[in-house]
Amino acid sequence: MISTGQQTRAQFVSIIKDIHPYIDFVHLREPSWTDNEMIEAINLLIEEGVPRNKLVVNTRVNIAHVMKTYGIQLTNESMDVTEVKKFYRHLRVGCSVHSVKEAIDAAGHGADYLIYGHIFETGSKRGIAPRGVKQLEEVTHNTTAPVIAIGGITPENTQLVLQSGASGIAVLSGILLARDPLQAVKRYQECLAGGIK
C-alpha cells in the first residue's frame, strides 16, 4: 500500500488503521510533507496499532533510521543503495526501477526488493505509455531481487501480474481512494490468493 499524496495525514491514518491487517507494508511516499509531518504520521500510525515493521519511508533515510521503520524506498535521485546498505544495515532497502538495466544494477548493489512500473495505464501517469506485462516479465527474469509491480493494477489484472513473475503488487488509489477501502483491500487480497480471475 503506497500513499497517494491526496489525503491529509488524519484521513490517511484513519484508513490505514482499518486496513493494515490485510496489507504487508505501508509505503509513505509524501514529498509535500515536512520531516516533522512525516514523523507525526508515523507516530499516529503506531498509536493506532500499525506495526512499525510494516512501515516503509520514501527516500528519507534519516527518518526511516530514527523512527526504526522496516525500510526505505529509494529512487534514482536518492542516496546510492550501496551507501544505505553500508551505513543503515538494519533497514530493508527497496529501489524504484524503470528498466531491466536499472533492475540488474539495483539488485547487484544490494537492493532487497524492486518496485517496477508503471505496468498498466494509470491516471497518475497520463500521456506516458505503460511498460506492460512483457517488460515486467523481462525484469523479473533478469534479476534475483523480488519485484513488486506498480501502476494501474486492479483486482482483475492482479493474477496476470503475478504470472509475469512479480512477487507482489503495490496499490495506491485502487484502495486509498476507493469508496470502501476495507472492501477494496479484501478484494485485492482475494485476487492475490487466486480466488478471483
Q: Which residues are catalytic?
A: 118
- Cell 529509494 belongs to which residue? 74
Length of the chain: 197
How many angstroms separate the CA atoms of 140 and 124, rounded? 24
Burial class (CB in 10 A: 0-12, 13-18, 19+), 134: exposed
- Cell 485502487 belongs to which residue? 174
- Cell 520514501 belongs to which residue? 58
In degrees rounded to 5, what are phi and psi of residue 26?
-115, 110
Nearest to 126 by CA among 160, 152, 89: 152
Question: Which residues does 54 contact at the CB level (< 8 Å), separation at least 6?
Answer: 20, 23, 24, 25, 26, 70
